[in-house]
Amino acid sequence: MKLMPTLQIKNICKSFGGVRAVNRCSFELVDKKITALIGPNGAGKTTLFNVVNGFIPADEGKIFFREEDVTDFTVWQRSRLGMSRTFQLSRLFKNLTIKENLILALRQDDDLFWRAFLKRGEGSELNKKIVEGMGFVGLKKNPETSVKDLSYGEQKLFDLTRALLNPHSLLLLDEPVSGVNPVLREKLKEIMRHLKEKGETVLLIEHDIDFVRSVADWIVVMDQGRVLKEGLPEKIFKDPEVLEVYLGPTE
């Protein structure tokens, strides 16, 4: 029996003025696997993410999520179907606390949201969920802390907590380890392994090759808006074309 792909990206094109950011890009995401989307700066990775989650419309092409055509769906509709994402540059409500931000991250038709709203969340199931989420990523902070008082690395962990708490069947992570120190990078590796054990389906954009090599089951390499290669990590990182795109032409 053929496994149903979680996500199908079909011939997506997206231009900004004269810049073809994504150019007939197609690939599929396998269920319960971590797929890494890699490629040089400006390859179109973030633009593709934005098209996948509905943040910007595609000029051409289709997105299927669990076999449903979601191409014309809004971000909100896709989120309700189970797409959850982090951002390359965190979009957080910096003057709100961790807890307030996490409450906002939960879907507003979620019972927990309304119970928290009516009871102000004290001792509620929502508190439990927030503490569990923060515990899972190892964010050791009081939930009443303002997000603006978190360090850069803590904000990354917080952004991940937010994406995880949003009920989902697909996680889209844009550069979760960029700019973090080696200790936090190791911790994020551990978190990714736990996500894999939990059977999460993840699409991960990441430049850190060591990180990608140790967590990804499948690699898709993007260059100039389209898929250059895809395959198992051990094969991709030996591929001369991929190496050339990353390191420049070799003699």
Ligand X SMILES: Nc1ncnc2c1ncn2[C@@H]1O[C@H](COP(=O)(O)OP(=O)(O)OP(=O)(O)O)[C@@H](O)[C@H]1O
User: Which CB atom, from 136 or from 246, has the smaller least distance to ligand X?
Assistant: 246
DSSP-based three-state secondary structure for 26: strand
Q: How far is the CB of 87 from Mg ion (least distance, A)?
A: 10
Give me the residue whose beta carbon is nearest to Mg ion: 46
Helices (H), the chain: 45-52, 75-81, 98-105, 111-119, 125-137, 152-165, 182-197, 209-215, 233-236, 240-247
Rounded CA separation 154/161 (Å):
10
Q: How far is the CB of 51 from ligand X (least distance, A)?
A: 10
User: Which CB atom, from 56 or from 243, has the smaller least distance to ligand X?
Assistant: 56
Rounded CA separation 4/44 (Å):
26
Q: Does 18 bind ligand X (CB under 6 A)?
A: no
Binding site for Mg ion (CB under 5 A): 45-46
CA-nearest of 147, 141, 143, 170 to 159 is 147
Among Mg ion, ligand X, none, residue 41 binds (CB under 5-8 Å by kind)? ligand X
User: Which CB atom, from 37 or from 170, has the smaller least distance to ligand X?
Assistant: 37
Rounded CA separation 140/131 (Å):
10
Count CA atoms closer than 13 A to 55's CA, side-chain side. Answer: 15
Q: Residue 160: exposed, middle, or buried by beta-carbon count in 10 A (0-12, 13-18, 19+)?
A: buried
Query: For ligand X, what does the binding mask look like between residues 40 and 69, x meaning CB under 6 A?
Result: -xxxxxxx----------------------
Q: Please, what is the end-to-end C-alpha distance for the chain in angstroms?
A: 46
Among Mg ion, ligand X, none, residue 153 binds (CB under 5-8 Å by kind)? none
User: Which CB atom, from 73 or from 87, has the smaller least distance to Mg ion?
Assistant: 87
Q: Does 84 bind ligand X (CB under 6 A)?
A: no
Q: Does 19 bind ligand X (CB under 6 A)?
A: yes
User: Which CB atom, from 8 or from 46, has the smaller least distance to Mg ion?
Assistant: 46
DSSP-based three-state secondary structure for 172: strand
Q: By CB under 6 A, which span of 13-21, 89-97, 121-129, 188-196 interacts with ligand X?
A: 13-21
Q: How far is the CB of 117 from Mg ion (least distance, A)?
A: 35
Q: Residue 129: exposed, middle, or buried by beta-carbon count in 10 A (0-12, 13-18, 19+)?
A: middle
Q: How far is the CB of 36 from Mg ion (least distance, A)?
A: 13
Binding site for ligand X (CB under 6 A): 16, 19, 21, 39, 41-47
